[in-house]
Amino acid sequence: MRGVAVTVFVMSLLASPAALACTTCRPAVQAGIFDEHFWGRLALTVLPFLVILLVVAVLYRVRPRTLPGEEPLG
């Protein structure tokens, strides 16, 4: 597992200069990403994860509990 983490770290270091290479396009790309619609798009991107987290939390909280001496269901 440690080898995978080291490999991912090294690959990310090697890939980052390529992402920052175009000095002509960078301001236009940043302006396109961080425009007036940024927060709405970010909220729509995060919303499915929040819904899944809410469903999992509700299912965890309402699952049937067993009393001492009872056998678990399922």
Domain range enclosing 55 = 38-63
Question: Considering the entire predicted model, what is its pTM?
Answer: 0.51
47 in a domain, yes or no? yes
Output the CA–CA distances (angstroms, integers) from residue 34 to 37, 42, 44, 47, in the order listed: 8, 10, 15, 19
42 in a domain, yes or no? yes
56 in a domain, yes or no? yes
Per-residue tens of pLDDT for the chain, all 74 residues: 788 999 988 887 777 666 666 778 888 888 888 999 999 999 999 999 999 999 999 998 887 777 777 776 65
31 in a domain, yes or no? no
Residue 10, φ and ψ in degrees, nearest 5? -65, -40
Tell me what pLDDT residue 54 has: 97
Number of domains in the chain: 1
8 in a domain, yes or no? no
Tell me what pLDDT residue 42 has: 95
14 in a domain, yes or no? no
